Structure 1
Amino acid sequence: MNWVRGEVIGKGSFSSVYLATPRRDSAETPSLMAVKSVSVSQSSLLQKEKDILTQFEDCPEILRCFGDDFTVEDGKEVYNILLEFASRGNLHQLLKKSDMGLPLSDVRYHTRSILRGLSMIHEKGFVHCDIKLQNILVCGSTEVKIADFGLAKKRNCDFDDGVSGLRGTPLYMSPESVSSNVYETGADIWALGCVVSELVTGKPAWRCRSDTDISGLLYRIGFGEELPVIPDELCDDGKDFLIRCFTRDPMTRWTAEMLLNHPFVTLVDSDASPRSAFDFPEWRSPSLHSRSLTCSEEEWDCSTSESTVERIRQLDTGKLQSWSFTSTWIDVRDA
């Protein structure tokens, strides 16, 4: 496909996202697209992302990929994937425009759409591994779509991209991912719970000060009994939905398919009881709420080759002084 590169609309650690327009009108491609680009020498994750996205062309809740190509720019070879353009940015940007959280009706609607996408991802044998507000894009007036499959993996398989250790965004990471380096479908469900809590309150589900050390947060997630915040203002079926997401044992955490039938997303009355088909053990915890600390809007990503065992040992002994971390995206311009 022949296309013209436009202005930068997003920038990450390794890749950049630009507006793009096709040189010729085609019924198969829109008049405006997004192109994600990276140097060929660093393109393995982006090429993997393209291969995964092509398996979800018929899923309306997953960002569409129109293909890939190679270009030469400023004497360097560049790998590009052409993507559906999210005209309204992502859920993080949408939430920042609100003084508080989103209306409950919107939260229910978006949650159901994300669940549909996750159900398809898991059905096809993948785990996304980085569900968060920034990776849920808003297309058109109300549609939301899951994007950024750079950290995705096959279910029940080790990562094969050469990156070891903890990965993803700690504010959304599940206990088993932190404590045991396990990233299976349940990790996506835990992250979804964090997304829902944040959409309701406008604050991260883990209350953290801006100067909180990342090692301390990870220790709370992976080894404590504390849970992310379940908002007091949330309706009863919404609280029950989050309880099913925030079960620390991934074997009893509900699946995307089960949650799609939960009253919170089927839009039944808030006082309706869960259907009897959900015959899982009841979740128990000393408290539904984590400690309320000063909220921070900082997001942390960690991807490292350091041994997870060594990292956790350092956490336990308090020897880890600092980690380097950056946000996956630097917002250059609101879509």
Structure 2
Amino acid sequence: MCSNPTPVREIGPDTLISRATALVSTYETASNPELIQHLPEAAADLGDLCPPPAPATGLYVLRGLPVDDAGLGATPPHWSDASPERTAVWDVAMLLLAATAGRPFGWEGQQDGRLVHDIVPSRGHEHGQTGASSTVTLAAHNEDAFHHGRAHLMLLGCLRNPDRVATSAAAVRHTDLDGADIETLSAPVLPILPDDAYDEARGSALEPPRVPTLWQGEDGLCLRFDPAYTPLEQAGPGYRAAYGRLGRELERVRTGVRLDPGDVLVIDNDAVVHGREPFRARYDGTDRWLKRVNVRLPDRARPPAEATEHGYGQRPIDPCQER
């Protein structure tokens, strides 16, 4: 594991929390459509609170938001049990941070279309490759890699992490890949299938599009990587060997980020893969509890071929785009 420290940005929370509190007093929860429509205006004067990470690092931690552990109540046993009212101020603060960076959005088929997701361990999902797992390593991946409309940035806010479970991260720009492997992995050879969080997309009869694993973005090398949902057996030996070398390089440069309550990890989803170390969930109301927001950067381009993908019929919910 790489020992490079994760950059930290200290945040003065007063203005952000005051703004979030005022919005909650008017709109009650982060799911209120009127609040979502009002987000760009509400965030307009908050300044550069949550900029995209520097291209060379691809991630940083925002530190300093307050968390009232007693006021949170018990960690919900499943995302659907989370109370929108209980964490409303935190949820709205996360959306405001996201809106200073770009456009927060959600998915039709994930967590009922909410823009703020609850990431908690859930019974029956311990061994899966989703955020609800616990006892297995969550393999390094780009968020929603199967979809051409995936987030450019991902925000992970920590409400509770008593066991200091590490979120892992690895930047492709820190790897040492030779030109031949980059060329091989830049060809659209294999599809990436929808993960287990998207039941409807997983049942799609549409032909899976073949996508490149690597491409050159404006700021450097980018990747689209999710080995748990990539049918690697369909590729030839040369591609499989290059893919394996990429995986080993990402493991070599991997770093662990142990989020404390009040931390928000900001990840460039084009340049950095993330995962999580295994842990033993207690299911007693004290388990790890994160919040996640996906962010789109309207001015960032991806390979033109992605525009022809069907996304397995899964559509993003991007209410700020509809203003």
**So what's the TM-score if we normalise by structure 2?**
0.30
Point out which structure has higher relative CO (alpha carbons under 8 A, 6+ apart). 2
